[in-house]
Chain A
């Protein structure tokens, strides 16, 4: 592994793992405690439309990915909060319509669509310098927002009614949180791809939750877990020459099962 780090793509992958873990740990924590895993899945899948559009316009799909994921975040939040359509219905609609748009654009694109598989299932070894710059920028945005709005996000995710009564515009904060999820999705797509994003977004936070009752500690712990999972997954995929995105997710799933097993055992031992 260490000698592999002399390659540029390995160095990029290493930095990508660190940057992805930061956003994933922070935002994944909110996703888990607010129980909005499938909203995140909806945002991720809907943004496939952006990737299709990017191919069609012959530009870097990433440039279309950001507006598309933001649009679907705002769309899902707005429709479920303001028009009072059931949230799962809204998610389902955005999920499939976004995918459909993507497929149509890709069909209309003449010739070969390179890297399509990497967008769907991720390939951390293909992260470019530009991707890293974008990741740094989005990470700063996420960290600054969460630091500035920590007490508001805590109140909103814990008890929406009380937050409203305290004079907080809960819908605006909720939609803003969905936008931060959209940014995280953009970052994570380079690592694990659209299809697998929700796993990486939720598993580290779900593990962390088993060991702490403090939201901030849960964020730090999930960052560490996510970092371990992505780096170890990267190493394993390099070692056995298998798909990195799927390796990372399988590893995450395994660690989650082990953690649940440990919890179960300690509970049994105590009682």
Chain B
């Protein structure tokens, strides 16, 4: 089984508005796919379709050859936003352990193995000292690290990250991407980011997403593609060579379908 995620003519419409238009692509094993695109372009929606949280209005999606729902135990997810109650009586340690939920059946507690994995992950993202802190009493970047640790310890075969480093400082950012580069030997990663610099240095393949998806199974992006996606000037670093695209857009056309 080489293709991990297969989308065929997938459309997503919410309240009559097209969010994703006709996506057809295959994501292969050990791909490290970066997704870029403007705000509201549909990147989060795309990940949620893979997770089965949003059902396509047309088209077909399989993950590990199965329905997304059935494949969830093999997927790790770092959400862009978590709508949890910041006053919830839970600490960092318990949140990270939750990453092992899919590995333990009901009636069974978390085991010693789960705890050592959680410890290892917390140390990797350097928040071991915060393990007893209530989850609402963290800074944005610290919380982001908690969710990354939680996704890592589930040992997923497919890892979905939605702007995981949005509020993380540059030192940690470097560390997280080194970690991901390490991990990509064993698993498939889909990363949503606005950080074009990161894309050029770590990612193998790039997709541009603005309602439609532009994906060529390689790291090549042409300035034309970017224009089509962003409808606006973009600073681009591809293949490590900076290209500056400064052609300004004529009208005020917003990034929508």
A205 vs chain B, min Cβ distance (A): 10
CB-based contact A158/B101 at 8 Å: no
For the complex, give the distance between the alpha carbons of A150 and B79 in Å: 24
Minimal Cβ-Cβ distance residue in B for A157:
B88
CB-based contact B94/A149 at 8 Å: no
Residue from the list A150, A164, A213 in contact with B90, Cβ < 8 A: A213
Minimal Cβ-Cβ distance residue in A for B110:
A151
Give 1 or 0 for each of B82-99: 1 = CB within 8 Å of chain A CB.
111100111100110010
CB-based contact B72/A166 at 8 Å: yes
For the complex, give the distance between the alpha carbons of A166 and B94 in Å: 15
A160 vs chain B, min Cβ distance (A): 8
Chain A residues with CB under 8 Å of B72's CB are 164-167
B226 vs chain A, min Cβ distance (A): 31
Instruction: Evaluate whether A215 and B79 lie within 8 angstroms (CB atoms) in the complex, with A155-B98, A158-B84 already known.
Output: no
For the residues of A in contact with B, the DSSP-based class is helix
Chain A residues with CB under 8 Å of B77's CB are 162, 165
Residue from the list A148, A161, A166, A213 in contact with B83, Cβ < 8 A: A161
Most buried by A among B94, B110, B150: B94
Chain A residues with CB under 8 Å of B244's CB are none
For the complex, give the distance between the alpha carbons of A152 and B106 in Å: 7
B73 at the interface (CB under 8 A from A): yes
For the complex, give the distance between the alpha carbons of A214 and B88 in Å: 9
B84 vs chain A, min Cβ distance (A): 5
Most buried by A among B51, B85, B94, B101: B101
B53 at the interface (CB under 8 A from A): yes
A88 at the interface (CB under 8 A from B): no
Chain B residues with CB under 8 Å of A148's CB are 106-107
Instruction: Evaluate whether A167 and B73 lie within 8 angstroms (CB atoms) in the complex, with A33-B89, A148-B106, A158-B90 already known.
Output: yes
Give 1 or 0 for each of B162-175: 1 = CB within 8 Å of chain A CB.
00000000000000
Count of chain B residues with Cβ under 8 Å from any Cβ of A?
28
Minimal Cβ-Cβ distance residue in A for B134:
A213
Most buried by A among B79, B89, B91: B89
B112 at the interface (CB under 8 A from A): no
B102 at the interface (CB under 8 A from A): yes
- CB-CB contacts below 8 Å: B107-138 with A: 107, 109-110, 134
B75 at the interface (CB under 8 A from A): yes
For the complex, give the distance between the alpha carbons of A149 and B154 in Å: 19
Chain A residues with CB under 8 Å of B83's CB are 159, 161
Residue from the list B79, B89, B98 in contact with A214, Cβ < 8 A: B89
Give 1 or 0 for each of A125-161: 1 = CB within 8 Å of chain B CB.
0000000000000000000000011111011011101
A163 at the interface (CB under 8 A from B): yes
Chain B residues with CB under 8 Å of A167's CB are 72-73, 101-102
CB-based contact A149/B53 at 8 Å: no
CB-based contact A33/B88 at 8 Å: yes
A263 at the interface (CB under 8 A from B): no
Instruction: Evaluate whether A161 and B73 lie within 8 angstroms (CB atoms) in the complex, with A33-B88, A149-B106, A155-B98 already known.
Output: no
Pairs across A and B, CB under 8 Å, 8 listed: A151-B104, A151-B110, A158-B90, A158-B95, A161-B82, A161-B83, A165-B72, A166-B72
Residues of chain B whose beta carbon lies under 8 Å from any beta carbon of chain A: 51, 53, 72-73, 75, 77, 79, 82-85, 88-91, 94-95, 98, 101-102, 104, 106-107, 109-110, 134, 150, 154
- Given A154-B98, A162-B82, 8 other A-B residues pairs in contact with their CB atoms under 8 A: A33-B88, A149-B107, A151-B98, A152-B106, A158-B95, A165-B77, A166-B72, A167-B73
